[in-house]
Structure formats: structure tokens, C-alpha cells
Amino acid sequence: MTSVGLIYDFGVSTGLGHRRRMEALGAALSEAGHEVTLQPIHEVQTFAWQLTVVDSYERRADDLLAAGGPIAALDDLGRDLAVALVVDPSPGAHPIRHYPARVLAGPAYALLDPALASLPVRPIGPTVERVLVTTGASPDDSAAGGAARVMAEAVAAQLGPGRVTLVRGSRHAEDLPRGVSALEAADGLGPHLSDYDIVLTAGGVTLLESLCLGRPTVAVAVAGNQQRAVEGAASAGACLAAPVERAAEQAARLASDFSLRRRLSASARKLVDGRGAFRVANAVAHLDRRR
């Protein structure tokens, strides 16, 4: 048994993505019999683990080399980190962006809750009744939150009232757009996604979850680091990519094209099979044996 510390960015301005990736990896490591500790990076005082995995935009993982044991990094920013292993799970990721580290790149290494892989995938039906709109768990008054509201309102105008649900945080003070309902998901969307016929999402963890569950998806980049994931998934035929101002148009296109929805769903499930956390857990555990 190996002790593994999983440390990550977490806070009001950060959202849930880093934590959820580490929770997924922790579940896979625990299933393999390893001792796992999850901790926000700002709370870490000492590194008492045999291995450490860092998921942080705020800190470079190679700044923590004094921790002693091998360090692995989750990184989708293309940084040249001097660590034992880099995992870049974005669609469109390429190892060369992280030279000279050893790299696991691409959606085969997407860190999603292992339980998603065993969920039954709801078939794609001939009609669209429910559409979900989300841009992640960033603060409600952020640009991303505003983009989600704009998209939800535009989709409701295109498809009619009663079909659109907007994911929002508990601090959201604005009234909902006409014809749009709300969903609060403080711990992430996960299996809730399978309830929807179409998902409009930013290019973070929810995009990968939506693809894993075979949801016909429109992806938008609301941050610079999401562009590669959105473009990579679209290039693989797993989703439609759009700027925020055209996302509703693409959702309407999907709603009217049953064949396209089925093609996207099949390609999405091939691209993200939900087993990435186990692959990464195996690679991380072997770092200790290579010392």
C-alpha cells in the first residue's frame, strides 16, 4: 500500500473542477488499495506522503519538489513542469506541450468519477424535451455565469419554454430568464447529466462527463485554457463547438437533427470511456516503484 497525497486548488474563485478531478483519482487509488489523502493546496503544511499529485493553476507542481517523494501534476495549461509525471486529460492534448516530462495526454486519461463508467446510458430519443446549460461552478456574477444565463435565455427562445434548465449556484441573485428552470448542484453534475437530451457546457470537467454519458453536447470556451479541450472534442466528432453567442443556434440544430445527435453520442462515448481515473491511478502508483 502506498500513501498518496492529492492536493488541489479550491476556493470561491476556483470552482469545483480541480477537486472533482482529485476525488475521481482518489476513488480509483483507494479501490486499488492505496491510502489517499485529499487536501486543498492552501491547507497543506507538510508532505507526509510517499507520492504527491498536484492539480493547481495557482502553484507550479515543480515548486513543491522539496516534498521528497515523486510528484505528479494534473496540468492542462501546457507548462514545462519538472516532475515525475504530467497528466493532461484534455481532448486535443499532446505530450510535446509538456516537454521534457513524462506525459499521459488526451481524454483516455480524463479524471472522472469511476462510477460514471458503470451508469446505464440513456438512449438518444427522436425528440428533445430537456436541455441543460452550464458553465461551471465559478461565482454567479462572473463572466462565465453571465454567459450561461445568456445561452439559457437564447435556447429557450429557440426551442420554446419549459425545456431549458440553467445550472446556477446558491448565491445567484438574478431572476431566471423566461421559460427557464434552475438546477443547483453544489457538488457537481455527474449523473444528473444523463437526464438531459442536449447539454450546453463550458470546456471543463462537465464537458468530459457529458461526453462519457453520451449526451449530445454543444461546448463553449469561457476561459482560454478551455479552448483546446473544446476544439479537440469537436475535431473528434464528439460535440459541436460554438462561441457563446452562437451556442443556442447549435443547440437548435441538434434538436432538429436526430441523426446528428446519435452520431455525436456514439463518438463521445468512444472518446471518453470513463476509465481514465484507473489508468492514471495505475501510472501514479508505479512512480513509487520506479524510485
Q: Give the pLDDT confidence of 111-149 residue by residue, as tens digits.
A: 999 999 888 888 999 999 999 999 975 544 456 678 999
The helix-helix angle for 227-235 and 205-212 (nearest 10°) equals 20
Q: Which residue is it, cell 504530467?
A: 86
- Between CA 180 and CA 161 the distance in angstroms is 7
- Element (DSSP H or E) covering residue 73: strand 71-74
The pTM (predicted TM-score) of the whole model is: 0.92
The reply to whether omega before 243 is within 30° of 0 (cis) is: no
Range of the domain at 258: 118-271
Residue 68 contacts residue 75 (beta carbons within 8 Å)? no
Query: Are residues 142 and 97 both part of a single domain?
Result: no
> In this structure, are 189 and 94 located in the same domain?
no
> Is residue 285 helix, strand or coil?
helix
Same domain, 73 and 149: no
- In a shared domain, residues 158 and 211: yes
Q: How many residues does the chain have?
A: 291
**Residues 234, 94 share a domain:** no
Helix (H) or strand (E) holding 233: helix 227-235
What is the domain-level CATH number for residue 158?
A: 3.40.50.2000
User: In this structure, are 240 and 140 located in the same domain?
Assistant: yes
Residue 144 sits in the same domain as residue 156: yes
Give me the number of domains the chain comprises: 2
**Does residue 241 sit in the same domain as residue 267?**
yes
Condensed to tens digits (0 to 9), the pLDDT of residues 61-95 reads 998 866 668 999 999 998 999 999 999 999 989 88
Rg of the chain's alpha carbons, rounded to an integer? 19
| CATH number of the CATH domain containing 107 | 3.40.50.11190
Q: Domain check: are 258 and 137 in the same one? A: yes
